[in-house]
Amino acid sequence: MIGSIVTLENLYLNVPFEAKDAAKDAGAKWDAASKLWYAPPGLDPLGFRNWWSFLRPAFADKDRIKAMGGKFHPVIKAWYVPAKFDYDEFREWWPKDCLKYLFNDRFAAYSRMTGGGQSSVFFGYDLTNNAECAIKLYDQGDEEDGETTVAFKRELDALLQLDHPNILPVLDWGRHDHTGQYFIVSPWMRWTLDDLFNDAETVYRALYPMICENYELEMSEDEFVSFLIDDDSGDEWLEASDEGILGDVLKGLVYAADSSIIHRDIKPANIFIDVSYNADVAPDLDDEPDLEKRLEALIKAGKENGYVTFEDVAYAQGKDEEFDTALDFYSDLIMQNIEVRESLTDTTLVADFGASKNWSLEGKKQATMVHLRTEPWTPPRTDAELFFERTWDGYAWGVLAIACLCEEMPDTREDIDRLLDGRFKEMVGENLWEFVSRIVHVDPDRRPADIKAVDNELAKLNDIRREAIGA
């Protein structure tokens, strides 16, 4: 349990004067003798992560620590890392209370983001690559055949089989040396579909400065948010079900089904949205000898002469008239058969395969968590439901289609029926309405057999839709 990760002894801290009130509010105490703040036993050390400083090295390592910049505190007789040095560089000597948040000597947890069920998710850093990551830490399991252990192994087995752009990848995994807890590390995704449903405006406002860093927008923050929220630029069904969120989720689930894996827990909280800005300099010609060398020379010359480089795309394209040299630089790029490509992309990724089932193991003993059912994203229970588990992913996708098109998160089966027979029917027409109605039918016999059957039917209906609107 995450609550068991607490300090077992005084954890001394390096708190600057201006942060003393924050440390006190977090529960830190003042040690007058050593003139240091410390976190007393029973508190979560992660709440004091910004002030970690002290080390617990072996005697033989003191010279190496000193050479790296470490200092010795004469009162508490312990080595510490001065503020100007990076504590992460000294991780092999962290105290045990801090080591609980270090995974495979590479990934450090910085804050707990979510928790529930059988695990907690932490925001962390890959200390090797200085990249953000998510660390899924499973609750402590005592037995190898216990539910937590089974959930970890099931999720890991599924993820190691699945390599697809719409499935959240696994970076690392293991069992923690100090707590015995299982963990899985994946890339950090800032937003879930839950976030977009609950507070799209906040998400978009957070996105605006991220884009402005790399992209010259000709609109204010308010205009940008309004554009994203009120975007009715085309056929909403095709945009969502083909290239949008629904299409991405479907591609990931179909790929998993090709490996005999059904997810069984599709819901907005398990669907991540990855938004990225892309700007790169690329050749017009595929087989251009010496292109890389000539490009490097151009960039070097640009820096020496005050030109902007391809890292400043707006200037390189001559969008700022105050920088005449930018036009020269961009002309050089064109003369060298080089173009600047820029785009804003979003990718939807399916995550959390902890409740998944592998149908290739059908007939063999397979521990599953049937009781983990999230309303209204899994079908209402029927006597025959367990024999129709293959329809579950399709059912959840159908509910997701209704929610995305109607821009409303259903909470109950009654909400699904209301939206389906109301706004959704008005938006998509009879054929698509009938299709989605079958997908989310309470009778499993009426649903398509599996997610692949959903995909096949959808492709035919979308072709008809395109033909009807002349797309």
Which tens digits make up the pLDDT trace of 52-79? 999 999 999 999 999 999 999 999 899 9
Condensed to tens digits (0 to 9), the pLDDT of residues 138-176 reads: 887 656 667 788 888 889 999 999 999 999 999 999 999
- For range 126-142, the mean pLDDT: 85
pTM over 0.95: no
Q: What is the pLDDT of residue 35?
A: 92
The residues pairing with 280 across neighbouring beta strands, listed in sequence order, are 341
Mean pLDDT of the chain: 80
Q: What is the pLDDT of residue 314?
A: 43
Q: What is the pLDDT of residue 418?
A: 96
Question: pLDDT at residue 283 above 60?
Answer: no
CA distance 237 to 188: 29
- Specify the amino acid at residue 388: F
CA distance 121 to 188: 10
Please say whether the structural domain 232-265+352-469 has been given the CATH code 3.40.50.300: no
- In this predicted structure, which of 61-70, 361-370, 388-397 has the lowest mean pLDDT? 361-370
Burial class from Cβ neighbours inside 10 Å (0-12, 13-18, 19+) for residue 75 reads exposed
Question: pLDDT at residue 292 above 50?
Answer: yes
**Residue scoring higher pLDDT (403 or 200):** 403
Class assignment of domain 101-188? alpha beta
Q: CATH 3.30.200.20 in the chain: give the residue spans.
A: 101-188
Pairing mode, if any, of strands 182-187 and 271-283? unpaired
Q: What is the pLDDT of residue 367?
A: 46
- For range 187-212, the mean pLDDT: 82
Q: CATH 1.10.510.10 in the chain: give the residue spans.
A: 232-265+352-469
**Residue scoring higher pLDDT (47 or 318):** 47
